Amino acid sequence: MPAGRRGLVVPQNTFLENIVRRSNGLHPNFILGNAQILGNPIVYASDGFCKLTGFSRSEVMKKSSDCTFLHGEHTSNESMKEIHDALINKQALQLEIIIYKKDGLAMWVLLHIGPIVNEKGEVVLFLMTIKDITEYKDPIPGTDQGGAKGWARLNKSLTRHKTVLVAFKQKSASQKNAQQITHLMSLNDDIIPQYKQEIPETPPRVILHYNTFKTSWDWVILILTLYTTVSVPFMVCFAYNSEPLNILDMIVDWLFIADIVLNFHTTYVGKDGEIIDDPRLIRLNYLKTWFVLDLVSSLPYGVLYFIPKSEMEQTEIANLLSFLRVFRLLRLGRVARKIDKYLEYGASTFFLLMLSFCLVAHWMACMFYVIATKYDKYDVHCWLYILADQIGMQYKKNGNSTEYDYTNTGPTIAARYVSALYYTLTSLTTIGFGNISPNTTAEKLFGCVTMLLGSILFSLIFGQVSAILQQSQKNTAKYHSIIDNMRQFSKLYKLPSVLADRIIDYFMSTWASNKGIDTDEVLKYCPKDLQADICVHLNRVVLENNLAFRDAPMGVKRAIARNFWICHVAPNDRIIHHGESLDVLYFIARGSLEVKQGEAVVGLLGEGDVFGDNVCNEPTVGQSAVDVHALTYCDLHCIQRDALLEVLEFYPEFAMKFAKNLQLSYNLRDELTIRRRTPSIVVHDEEGGDDLRPVSVTYRGKRNRKLSLVEELAYTYDIPDSTVDHAHNSVEEAALPAERMVLPERTRTPNTLRAKPELFQDSVDVISSLTEMKGEVRREIEVMNMKMTQLEQQVSLILNLLKSQGHLHSRASGNLHESSGNIMDSPQHDEFNDSMNSPVGSRRDTRTQPPQSPRPREDPPKDDPLPDWLAPPGSASSQHSIPDWENQEADQSSASAARLLNKDEQKPSEQPDPRALQILKLMQKK
């Protein structure tokens, strides 16, 4: 049922209208105060109150409900205290008090305070009414009221007994008003309505025109009306008289009369769309519109059949009834009223048009039969006489009479009606087979009228049917039209087949989600407030589930929701390009996306994730360091950076919470440092063992320097950010350089996540956590690397100082010679001894001078024993408890320290660290 025919039925708060209507003429002086705000400010003042007190509505609004602005010299303090307590405790109160008008005139009033509750039972308002009772009280001291009031009382006493009837009427009216005022002051729930949203209630004995009972009743009346439009022409034209049908007609007539009575108590829709439920207006509206037509068409004419009458009177009454029954066709006006509200629907319109065409054909068939019987009077050339000859059912004479019996002989009534209907349908549809054709002049004239009417109806009805079918297929036609345009576009510009398929696939997925409805076009017809409510509903997934908006006030949600728009993307669509400005914040409502930096996947995003730029912490618009691709069909809720900042600026309190609760799943501004792993070479053990250790090419090229901590971790452990796996290529020993490199033993840390990919394969949260953890670990490693570099420099400086004082001795010459004689004989070992024994600043360059024999070492003084790690080899402190394998490890450490000293000699001299000097002094004291 269209809303325009139904009326405005949205729940409304008609509290103020009800108060004004019920108090009009009884007690028009009242104010309304808020019961939930401190001070109980006045929110409404009636015209009667303003006129009585002399204050305008703007002067009264927002003042306290205790009406202290009306108090004066003679106002009782006890009364003021009672009013204050009643407002605080939200209780009802009635008392007499002296108040002062704006001009300073004092008067006695009867003041009543009543609390008003909402649907939850909470007191939300106060209704304060006042009644001027000055004329019933003694004069107020200090006021000049004797003259005016005295003349008023004298005039009242002189005119009191003008007539007995007038006095009686005045007394009755005053008693009635007093009773109504008493009911109003008692705060009866039937008098004081609640302050709540509700559908407007109808007065007693008034029926809503759209409720279930009235709708069912209308359908019954509609069916009976259609029965009348079919039966009345048939019974009048074919002179068909049946007692059961006459009884049925009488029942239908009484039902129509009952419908007239109901129409006097049924609401209707006014010009402005509001439902009119005033009984007086309802009666006037029905009397001016449909009452006369309904009354004439509903009179029980069938009663005349049951009145005793003579044969002549029977004939006259039959002719009269045949004429009066035509008035029943006026009930078609009821059909027009009932079906008007369904004309907006295509299927109902099509059904009604076909029904109308059939009714016209039925009426024309009845008229065609009347022409043959009443006008041509069964002429031998009329179509009815010819039909009797064709079917072999000729009309016969009535006994010995010369007249034919046209009632009981000839074709049956069914054959006559079907033949007449067949002719009218062939004429209306402009087909005309000719087997039943008009022969007489009257029949030919009727045939001309029928064909003209048929051409109009055929073009009108079936043209309308074509329009209805096109309207029903409008969306489908639009869909195929857009698909065809896309294909023509791809063909015109010679797009690749993959790109053309993506265009069509995107449109089809978008159409499946919105059915071709343009949301922005629909919102244009809505006011701003309604647009905000619709936008809040459309973006409820983000506003209710995201932590940044979950606890936001409704005003903030409405302001933000109006700036959101929903974007639908298809798989493989690139949402953000590298280097693109980050002026939009994206919230994922459905689907999954991937974040790629170059060719490396650095993040996966799913439902509920947020990506973009941190608008709260970044003062300027940044550039994206990554690309964002859609993996599946996605629905994204997007908002512009400027629009969001504008709302946050307007709501600073919410802006602080938003900045704290906004959690970006991936900040597109951040760029990760991606280190690619180089291919490795497998080195076979000399002893033929199966222990194959991959050696990095980078490490082999830089074997003469010590690895940093970051490089050592990268070599020892499997770091997740590596995008190129090791290619283990077996290389023979002869292919390696001649100089053998000693590799440190290492054990690889097993990667649990790689061993069990099912733990994180489909979990976006785990991948996001690993991505964040990876960045944190990388930063910590860099900090540790810097600290280790500083520590290495300090240790190098300490070793230089110790060597300059003669306290540094290497154990490599002893134990290392015993464990590896080949190395002791090599020239590199001689260079190492020379570099260890030569004083600081006088070491010779081993690259230009020939190797020399090692110098004899000097043992430290016996009275100043050194620690084990500084003692010379062969001493008691270094031999009594050190196994051979520990000596070998110590020799390797000493050799590494010696190489580090050789490397540091090439650097410019540095100032000694004070902390190292302090440590050296402490060691010398010992």
In this predicted structure, the answer to whether residue 586 has a pLDDT above a threshold of 80 is yes
Of 329-343, 470-484, 865-879, which gets the smallest average pLDDT?
Answer: 865-879
- Residue 637 confidence class, pLDDT cut points 50, 70, 90: very high
pLDDT digit string, tens, across residues 79-130: 899 998 999 988 888 888 999 998 888 988 888 888 888 777 788 888 888 8
Tokens (6 digits) for 342? 């369904």
Span 412-429, pLDDT tens digits = 888 999 999 999 999 888
Are 42 and 61 within 8 A, CB to CB?
yes
If one compares 790 and 302, the residue with the highest pLDDT of the two is 790
pLDDT at 843: 41
878 pLDDT higher than 50 = no
Neighbours of 251 (CB within 10 A): 12
Residue 364 has pLDDT above 50, yes or no: yes
Of 308, 331, 312, 329, nearest in space to 320 by CA: 312
Q: What is the pLDDT of residue 515?
A: 80
Do residues 567 and 513 make contact, with C-beta atoms less than 8 angstroms apart?
A: no
Set out the domains of the chain in order of their start, with CATH numbers. 14-183 (3.30.450.20), 202-344 (no CATH), 346-472 (1.10.287.70), 519-667 (2.60.120.10)
Least confident span in 377-391, 578-592, 640-654, 871-885: 871-885
Confidence band for 838, pLDDT divided at 50, 70 and 90: very low
Chain position carrying tokens 């809040």: 536
1 or 526: whose pLDDT is higher? Answer: 526
Residues 419, 369: Cα–Cα separation, whole Å: 9
* CB 276 within 8 Å of CB 285: yes
Cα angle at 916 between 910 and 920, to 5 degrees?
120
Q: What is the DSSP string of 236-275?
A: HHTT---HHHHHHHHHHHHHHHHHHHHHTTB-EE-TTS-E
Amino acid 609: pLDDT: 92
pLDDT band at 488, cuts 50/70/90? very high
Of residues 504 and 737, the one with the higher pLDDT is: 504
Residue with the bigger pLDDT between 620 and 470: it is 620
Question: Of 874, 902, 900, 898, which is closest to residue 887 (Cα–Cα)?
Answer: 874
Mean pLDDT of 455-472: 80
DSSP 741: -
pLDDT higher for 702 or 121?
121
- Distance from C-alpha of 128 to C-alpha of 66, rounded to nearest angstrom: 9
pLDDT at residue 365, rounded to an integer = 93
> What pLDDT score does 828 carry?
46
Side chain identity, residue 490: S
Q: What is the mean pLDDT of the chain?
A: 73
Q: What share of the chain is helix, strand, coil (3-state, %, to 5)?
A: 50, 10, 35
Core vs surface per residue 335-362: b (16+ CB within 10 A) or e: beeebebeeeebeebbebbeeebebbbb
Token pair recorded at residue 745: 């033993």
pLDDT per residue over 188-224, tens digit each?
444 555 555 555 667 888 898 888 898 889 888 888 8
Confidence band of 5 (pLDDT split at 50, 70, 90)? low
How many residues belong to the chain? 926
Position 537 scores a pLDDT of: 93
**Residue 694 pLDDT level (bands cut at 50, 70, 90):** very low
Highest mean pLDDT among 26-40, 637-651, 838-852: 637-651
SS (H, E, C) 621-672: CCECCCEEEECCCEEEEEEEHHHHHHHHHHCHHHHHHHHHHCCCCEECCCCC
* Interval 854-870 mean pLDDT: 46
Q: In this predicted model, which residue has the larger pLDDT, 499 or 167?
A: 499
Report which residue type is found at 859. D
CB atoms within 10 A of CB 49: 21
Greatest mean pLDDT among 14-28, 168-182, 663-677:
663-677
According to DSSP, residue 340 is labeled: G
**pLDDT, average across residues 50-65:** 87
One DSSP character per residue, 689-731 reads -S--EEEEHHHHHTTTSPPPHHHHHHHHS--TT--S----EE-
Tell me which H or E stretch contains 96: strand 93-100
- Taking the C-alpha atoms of residue 848 and residue 301, their distance in angstroms, rounded to an integer, is 141
pLDDT in tens, 818-835: 444 444 444 444 444 454
pLDDT band at 867 (very low <50, low <70, confident <90, very high): very low
Helix ranges restricted to H, 805-820: 815-819
Q: What is the pTM of this model?
A: 0.48
Higher-pLDDT residue of 102, 742: 102
Q: Which of 96-105, 315-324, 349-358 has the lowest mean pLDDT?
A: 315-324
Residue 63, pLDDT > 50, answer yes
